[in-house]
Structure 1
Amino acid sequence: MEIVLSKILSEIRHQEDKLSSQMMQTADEAYQMTLFLKEMLCTIKTNVLQDGFKDEHREIDFFKNIKPQILGKLIYYNKVFRIETTCPVSNGKIHQSYYENQLKALKSEYKESICNEDFYRYYRADRTDRDHIYFRLGQINYHDGLKSGVFEIDLSFSTYFDNKIAHIIANELLYTYMLTKINPEKNPDTILMNGDTHKDISWTNSQNALIELIYALYASKSIAYGKIGIRKLALIFQILFRTPLNDIHHSFHRMKTRAGSRTAFLDQLKISLEEYMDKDL
């Protein structure tokens, strides 16, 4: 069984674009995406239980990279649906206060359930030395004092830690969503032109490549004379290309110390442009 992450992400983006083009209310769009992602996950689960994995590498890749992307967005859209359908009013101070309280609750959950755990630091450090423990079925060590949620998951389709990554992804998406609700005047959607013109635009290189480009534009003050902060600039690119960027600050600091060229993507851009120029000579 071969499950390819790029294909999964492409299918999700296609469904997001399809629903977005129908100009639905946020709650309706979130509900439809929840149904879509739930069905996708159920189909993949059936295939996994039936066919298993060819080798350890594919099993680790699935539970570390593929399933969390689907489950993370499923958690995100379900949460957005719940938030939108319980919002008391559509504008005003109560509306503002509602989303501010939601953001506080999200930050509290992040501090209590995510950032203080050893696994979170392992994941953020891009370590792989314990992948064979964290992302293979049947490797849960109850002596680690895991939270009770471990008893609520289907251990035939979860290593427990894939769920943790999914919640990290969902948390980051929800954080961005909350900020745009609290500060609609700073919402990058209003900075961009009509969204319909961007339906077919997607980033097809790596996340690190996009982060490298964003920091280059920020450092060179090429956009708004450098008056736009790095977080807001990253948010604009995330919405423009409809792709989440995980912890850009951490990724940037890893770039500063990586072997070889620290600006690999920018170097390749220069080479590609020069080759393109030479075609006209």
Structure 2
Amino acid sequence: MRTFAERLFSALENQLNETSLNEQSLTEQYRASIILCKKAMSKLKRYVSSYAFQNKEEEIHFFKTVKPQFYSKYIYFISVYNFIIQQPLGGDEILKEYINFQLIDIKRYFDHNQAFYQYYRSGSSQLDELYFTRGGFDVQAELEDFEEDELYSTSHDYKLSKIMANEKYQDYLNLELAKILNSSMPVSEMPIDLSLTWTANKTDLVELLYALVALGVFNNGNVEIKAVMSLFQTIFQVDLGSYYHKYADIARRKKERTSFLDKLKLALLRKIEDKFDVENNQQHSLKF
């Protein structure tokens, strides 16, 4: 099952990347992305409908990890598509108000699902069997986040998908807000355009930014990670997507947990040593 799901998800991401590179309008690109996600979701559902999970662990993995990967993308693209087509006419102030309304709505959803949201963000697993195996649906659960197909749903897999999508949508909105704020700056205060693009691994950038926030280098430590992520995504023209998942992957490493930071240190020491060697050689040659 894992092999099939991984290949299907990889194919979906390739198709989505191709869609983002074509010359269609943004609305057409997002509409195409929604269709691609829907097709992939249908293939996944057909496959699972004739598949018997080997044990509880495999079933939990599917409904906690695999299925939300597909569904969260679908929900995210729908959110962005609706944001674009419903965007009000007017100046920057009207657009900022529209974006802030969306951000407030997302926060309201997180607050409404605070207990499960904290469970998800903390990486907990003690309630996984209740949340991510079929047949565990509780009528006390939020009905609006339950898919009625009990053969292909658990009580919380859709809720998890929606939370993941909302986090990514929140990042998208913060990027749009940052663009407006940058464009409204006086020319003398606008940052110099160096056309910097992050070309290293995205997980490496996440590792670097979490380290900087942990050290408290911004605003004397009074800053949230999402604000830093939004700013650097704009500066380096990179979409870090679900950066909190990348951070979770970093935290789960058993060896070389800070591999990128370790590489940075070695690279800087090597550069310092090379410069020191060159200066020493120059001084030595001058003596003769």
Q: TM-score, with normalisation over the residues of structure 2? A: 0.70
Equivalences for residues 44-59 of structure 1 within 5 A:
44-59=44-59
Distance 2:264 2:99 in 1: 43
Equivalences for residues 140-179 of structure 1 within 5 A:
140-142=137-139, 145-149=140-144, 152-179=147-174
Distance 1:264 1:246 in 2: 16
- Verify: 1:73 aligned to 2:73, yes or no: yes
Three-state SS of the structure 1 residue aligned to 2:244 is coil
Match of 2:189 in 1: none
Q: Tell me the CA shift for residue 151 of structure 1.
A: 5.8
Say whether the 8 Å CA contact 2:146–2:158 is kept in structure 1. Answer: no
Say whether the 8 Å CA contact 1:5–1:65 is kept in structure 2. Answer: no
Equivalences for residues 144-223 of structure 1 within 5 A:
145-149=140-144, 152-185=147-180, 193=195, 203=201, 211-216=206-211
Say whether the 8 Å CA contact 1:49–1:157 is kept in structure 2. Answer: yes
Equivalences for residues 36-115 of structure 1 within 5 A:
36-89=36-89, 91-112=91-112, 114-115=113-114
Match of 1:139 in 2: 136
Say whether the 8 Å CA contact 1:134–1:161 is kept in structure 2. Answer: yes
Three-state SS of the structure 1 residue aligned to 2:87 is coil
Which stretch shows the higher mean deviation, 228-237 or 54-63?
228-237
Distance 1:211 1:49 in 2: 37
Match of 1:276 in 2: none
Q: Tell me the CA shift for residue 133 of structure 1.
A: 2.0
Larger RCO: Structure 1 or Structure 2 (Cα < 8 Å, ≥ 6 residues apart)?
A: 1
Amino acid at match of 1:243: G
Say whether the 8 Å CA contact 2:5–2:44 is kept in structure 1. Answer: no
Say whether the 8 Å CA contact 1:169–1:246 is kept in structure 2. Answer: no
Deviations 1:188-228 (A, max 9, x none): xx978388xx8xx6847xx5x653332335668999xx9x9
Query: RMSD of aligned C-alpha atoms?
Result: 4.2
Q: Tell me the CA shift for residue 134 of structure 1.
A: 1.5
Structure 1 residues 186, 17: closer, same or farther in 2, change over 3 A?
A: farther
Gaps of 5+ in 1: 274-281
Distance 2:61 2:266 in 1: 31
Aligned length: 256
Match of 2:186 in 1: none
Which stretch shows the higher mean deviation, 60-69 or 100-109?
100-109
Say whether the 8 Å CA contact 2:76–2:168 is kept in structure 1. Answer: yes
Distance 2:111 2:135 in 1: 28
Gaps of 5+ in 2: 183-191, 268-288
| Structure having the higher Rg | 2
Q: Tell me the CA shift for residue 21 of structure 1.
A: 1.3
Q: Tell me the CA shift for residue 147 of structure 1.
A: 1.8
Equivalences for residues 249-264 of structure 1 within 5 A:
263-264=257-258
Distance 2:67 2:58 in 1: 12
